[in-house]
């Protein structure tokens, strides 16, 4: 959901991530999120001319949320309640490819 409100000189952008994630929150999950956010923030800033109308940093935050929640969901499906933050990291390549890579056919 994109809600851009004019306040001051710059619009405020509100994005809501509706991905379910997993029912378990494990220690280190925020560390994974911050690392993913740093990566997406760099990519978004470097490629902001090629992006949609959403400013680069909110877009990076939204993409980070989606990726980490999808990784948590996949890790929970595999490990159940014994899921650790490292299990999220093991899911990153597959989930990233599924959610973000463009395929050319």
Residue reference for tokens 């956010």: 37
Angstrom distance (rounded) from CA 13 to CA 38: 19
Residue 49 or 90, more confident: 90
Q: Which residues are CB-neighbours of 68 under 8 A, at least 6 positions away?
A: 21, 29, 32, 33, 36, 88
Token pair belonging to 63: 């993409």
Name the token pair of 67.
């990726």
What pLDDT, in 10s, does the model give residues 10-53?
667 788 999 989 999 999 999 999 999 999 999 998 888 777 77
pLDDT: is 7 or 57 the higher one?
57
- pLDDT one-digit tens code per residue, 61-86: 999 999 999 999 999 999 999 999 99
The answer to whether the CB of 61 falls within 8 A of the CB of 34 is no
């Amino acid at each position: 959901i994109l809600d851009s409100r004019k306040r001051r000189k710059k619009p405020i952008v509100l994005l809501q991530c509706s991905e379910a994630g997993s029912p378990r929150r494990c220690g280190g999950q925020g560390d994974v999120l911050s690392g993913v956010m740093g990566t997406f923030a760099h990519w978004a800033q470097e490629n902001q001319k090629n992006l949609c109308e959403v400013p680069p940093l909110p877009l990076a935050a939204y993409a980070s949320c989606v990726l980490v929640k999808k990784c948590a969901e996949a890790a929970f499906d595999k490990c159940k309640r014994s899921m650790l933050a490292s299990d999220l990291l093991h899911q990153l390549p597959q989930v990233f490819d599924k959610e973000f890579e463009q395929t050319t056919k």
